Chain A
Amino acid sequence: MATRLPAVDAVLIGFGWTGAIMAQELTEAGLNVLALERGEWRDTPTDFAPTFAQDELRYYWRHELFQRLNHDTLTIRNKASETALPMRRLGSFLLGSGVGGAGVHWNGQVWRFLPSDLKARSHNLERYGKKAVPDDMTIQDYGVSYEDLEPYYDKFEYLCGVSGKAGNLKGVIQAGGDPFEGPRAREYPNPPLDMPYAPTLFGQAAAGLGRHPFPHPAANMSRPYTNPLGVQLGACTYCGFCEKYACGNYSKASAQTTILPVLMRKKNFTLKTNSEVVKINLSADGKTATGVTYIDDKGQEFEQPAELVVLSAYILHNVRLLLLSGIGKPYDPATGEGVVGRNYAYQITSSVNVFFDDKILNPFVGAGALGTIVNDFNGDNFDHSGLGFIGGGYVGLLQTGARPIETHNTPDGVPKWGAAWKAALARDYLKTTTISTHGAVMSHRGNYLDLDPTYKDALGRPLLRMTFDFTDNEHKMSDYLTDRAAEIGRAMGGREIKVNYRKGSWDVVPYQTTHNTGGAIMGDDPRTSFTNRYLQSWDVPNLFVLGATAFPQNAGYNPTGTVAALAYHAADAIKTRYLKAPQQSLVQA
């Protein structure tokens, strides 16, 4: 029997990046806000201290900061004709856990999508015609424009103290920045990080080939920084333990380092940890969310009524909770109808290793988003005529560190173990670097999320099932990017390169990215989207769904910048319009 608790103005499900952003915005508007997080409290001096944070085995290989799959995981398959099996170990993507979520262990790569990314469907149809977008490629426009989001991208960049160099200031292209980016109102809040040897060599080689290299925008502080909330971050020390690790000296942006010091002092904000939401409750007519039901670590059930419900967990958990709560019509790939679970997408990546004989690169010096990038082949920044694919990605040399269990780049022909392997590694470790490509994934009719019929989580509820594979579009595009990367790699003038194309079906084992997107997408049409452009559910107007869940397809950029901008955009609409007319839809369908 659930204990019924006193009502709150707003309840947030999940307390990572989007939960913290929305909680800060809503409490500023005077609301009584409750955040429910099924994981635990985590903070820098106790959980991420530089006395033990540099532990590759514990954090990368034993997954200490990530979700425990024995509690909750998902099942995966490439095609609907296969039987989905559980993801028993983390691999391809690393699910976050606890306060701050994956924002604690990310790299800090902060991007804006291109204006054309946000209208991938209409833009590509217009430029390349109907053949460019096959019937099974279910891409859609986001329903917001780059201009709509610009002030919110800016807000997140200043919250996070992003270190970078603007490439387009109000329409004027700036030297040293990305000439392809959408126009921005002002410079980044911090100058770019110091650039080590390898990314500098990459930049020189790329420029020599006529590309346009620039420093990767980084939520790793290039200097001590106080953000607009008054929160202080330290300067990055290039420790090389960024992605998959938490930052020990407050120099990587996360909920903890940018928002929580202010939010946790507010009397109108409450956080409950070890409190897992198991259902979003609806009124009898299904048109209003009345609140949530959650359980604590002892399994005791609580009913938490709320005026406003915000689903701010990770995209995969968001979609599963909607399905388990019976909200929205589940997607059926056979008919193409339904919205919950549709348009799941991911990221396609590849790499090129460059081996030098004569250059000590010290690759273990690194930071999460430290590197040199070219966007010449991202989005629709280049003419796709005759190439047989749409979309693109960035090509860059990121020096995030070179932890030794992970970093065994050896040339073609070298075995993976034995004396020859050892000699090659000892010879090459300090003098090897890796160029990576990071490509878009278009949504496809057959790539979707639903509930698994067989496997259950620790609470006995069905796991989410992911049906996903790369299509021809992705493979062609990724190969193209890889070839461009190889060109730059050769031009860097090393002893040799090794080209690692992404081949075959999507494999859950090797780590790729934690850029899962879609499943409750935004759009203009309730038949093909779950939310409107303010991330407000079409069916249940007092339910907002944050996160990359909103993306109708994924672009060639890391998603967090756009996730945050959409969250701020939604928060603004809630504060300025929704609260004045609650329970009303902000957009007429």
Chain B
Amino acid sequence: MSTFELDRRALLGIGAAACAVPLTAAAAQFTGAGMAWQPNTAAWPTAVDLRAGYMFFTPDEAAFIEAACARIVPADATGPGAVEAGVPLFLDRQLAGDYGKGARWYMQGPFGKSTGTQGYQSRHPPAGLYRAAIRAIGDHLGRNGGQPFHKLSAADQDAFLKDLEAGKADLGGDVDAKAYFTLLLQNVMEGYFADPLYGGNRGLAAWKMIGFSGARYDQRAYVLAYGKPYPLPPVGIGGRPAWSAKG
């Protein structure tokens, strides 16, 4: 040790005027101690593990999802497609986690049929709805010896998706085709445009395509810059290449 360090306070003592941040869901009481705070503590987001393969989709489901993603946002000169952007992986991780379970949703029964203005009423949380719907789609298309979705031509795939969207495809059972497509479309858009830490929007490419500035905070210099193109590239919560001296 090159310099003597006389430690005067235990780390506990720093900020003794304020009390510690309660981190569990336990009931806590605050009297006169100011705004609770603790160092090194934050409610940061959990990035998904991008290295592992699919954790939720079976190979058949993945085939459908990848093909559907490729039609919902196709790759072209404008920008990446949903597949290139990582949306199937995004969907997989969402469905494998709390979102798939509908953890924040009210999933108690009984389950009735919506009048049309009462929102989502399926007994399936998203994970269950995807499984049931993809299976029903497979059955539906396979009737009379038809090809599975991923083997259809692009035009036929589009036509089928449009039928789903319009509620014209009857998938039978308790799967509402329109509700499923609405959810799928919503989730694909989420994956395409969300922060890359969730698995989609790889390389911030979707944001670059539209010109969204990303996870920034100080835009004061641009409020009155009427009509001027925004000069900075987008940035994610995890940063951008310029944050690295090697980048």
Please count how many residues in chain A sit with their CB below 8 Å of the partner chain's CB atoms. 92
Q: Cα distance A489–B216 when bound, in Å?
A: 29
- A505 CB contacts on chain B under 8 angstroms: 116-117
| Chain A at the B interface: SS class | loop
As a 0/1 sequence over residues 288 to 327 of chain A, the CB contacts with chain B under 8 angstroms (1 = contact) are 0000000011100000000000000000000000000000
**Least CB distance, B39 to chain A, in whole angstroms:** 10
- Indicate if the CB atoms of B108 and A274 lie closer than 8 Å: no
A418 interface neighbour in B32, B33, B72, B220, Cβ under 8 Å? B72
- Interface pair B33/A264, CB less than 8 Å apart: yes
Q: A46-B37, A50-B217, A426-B79 are in contact. Are A417 and B185 (CB under 8 A)?
A: yes
A508, B118: Cβ atoms under 8 Å?
yes
Contact present for B42 and A46 (CB under 8 Å): yes
Q: Is the CB of A456 within 8 A of B45?
A: no
Whether B51 is near chain A, meaning CB under 8 Å from some CB there, is no
Q: A88-B121, A422-B74 are in contact. Are A266 and B32 (CB under 8 A)?
A: yes
Q: Are A359 and B31 in contact (CB under 8 A)?
A: no
Whether the pair B99, A425 counts as a contact (CB closer than 8 A) is no
Q: How far is the CA of A91 from the CA of B121 in the complex (A)?
A: 13
User: Is the pair B34, A261 in contact by a Cβ cutoff of 8 Å?
Assistant: yes
Q: Does B245 contact A (CB under 8 A)?
A: no
Q: For residue B56, which residues in chain A have a CB less than 8 angstroms away from its CB?
A: none
B residues within 8 A CB of A260? 35
Closest Cβ of chain A: how far from B20's Cβ, in Å?
10
What are the residues of chain A within 8 A of B110 when measuring CB–CB? 454
For chain A residues 65-90, which have a beta carbon within 8 Å of chain B? 68-70, 73, 76-78, 82-89
Verify B185–A55 contact, CB threshold 8 A. no
Stretch at the interface among A167-175, A235-243, A569-577: A235-243
Contact with B along A79-108 (1 / 0, CB 8 A): 000111111110100000000000000000
Q: Are A405 and B211 in touch, CB under 8 angstroms?
A: no
Measured between C-beta atoms, what is the minimum distance from A29 to chain B in Å?
Answer: 17
Whether the Cβ atoms of A89 and B228 lie closer than 8 Å is no
Task: Return chain B residues, CB-CB under 8 Å to A86.
Answer: 106, 108
A89 to B183, CA, bound (A): 12
Other-chain residue from B36, B79, B216 in contact with A239 (beta carbon distance below 8 A): B216
Per-residue CB contact flags for chain A residues 204-247 toward chain B (1 = under 8 Å, else 0) read: 00000000000000000000000000000000011110000000
Q: How far is the CA of A298 from the CA of B110 in the complex (A)?
A: 27
Chain B: CB-nearest residue to A360: B227
Give B138-197 interface residues, CB cut-off 8 Å to A.
Answer: 158, 161, 165, 185, 188-190, 193-195
Q: Which residues of the other chain, A, contact B212 by a CB distance below 8 angstroms?
A: 364, 402-404, 429
* Interface flags, B20-45, vs A, CB<8A=1, else 0: 01100111111111111110011111
Chain A neighbourhood of B71, CB < 8 A: 417-418
Chain B nearest CB, measured from A372 CB (Å): 14
Q: Which residues of B contact A364 (CB under 8 A)?
A: 212-213, 219
A47–B23 CA distance with the chains assembled, in angstroms:
11
A267 lies within 8 A of B32 (CB): yes
Return the contact of B36 from the options A41, A70, A274, A403 (Cβ within 8 A): A41
Q: Given A260-B35, A267-B31 in contact, is the A405-B105 Cβ separation under 8 Å?
A: no
* Residue interface mask B205-230, A partner, CB < 8 A = 1: 01101111111111110111111111
Q: Which B residues are CB-close (under 8 A) to A248? A: 217
Task: Give the number of chain B interface residues (Cβ < 8 Å).
Answer: 81
- The yes or no answer to B53 lying at the interface (CB within 8 A) is no
Q: What residue of chain A has the Cβ atom nearest to residue B72's Cβ? A: A417
Interface contact B217-A54, CB-CB below 8 Å: yes
When distances are taken between beta carbons in the complex, the residues of chain A under 8 Å from B55 are none
Q: Roughly how many angstroms separate A454 CA and B220 CA in the complex, as a whole number?
A: 52
CA distance A73 to B217 in the complex (A): 33
B3 within 8 A of A: no
Q: Fill in one digit per residue for B78-100: 1 if any A CB lies within 8 Å of its CB, else 0.
A: 11000000000000000000010
Encode A394-422 as 1/0 by CB contact (under 8 A) with B: 00000000111100100000001111001
Complex contact A69–B106 (CB within 8 A): yes
- Tell me the complex Cα distance, A511–B117, Å: 13
Expressed in whole angstroms, the minimum distance between the Cβ of B156 and any Cβ of chain A is 14
Out of A58, A261, A422, name the residue touching B78 (CB < 8 Å): A422
Contact of A275 among B27, B32, B185, B209 (CB under 8 A): B27
Residue from A82, A194, A266, A422 in contact with B73 in the complex, judged by beta carbons closer than 8 Å = A422
B99's closest neighbor in chain A, by CB? A62
Other than the known A83-B112, A261-B34, A430-B210, what 13 A-B pairs have Cβ atoms closer than 8 Å? Answer: A43-B35, A54-B215, A56-B193, A88-B105, A88-B120, A196-B224, A267-B32, A274-B27, A360-B227, A362-B230, A404-B212, A422-B73, A508-B117
Spell out A's residues near B (CB within 8 Å).
Answer: 40-41, 43, 45-47, 49-58, 61-63, 68-70, 73, 76-78, 82-89, 91, 194-197, 200, 237-240, 248-249, 256, 260-261, 264-267, 269-275, 296-298, 359-360, 362, 364-365, 402-405, 408, 416-419, 422-423, 425-426, 429-430, 454-456, 504-509
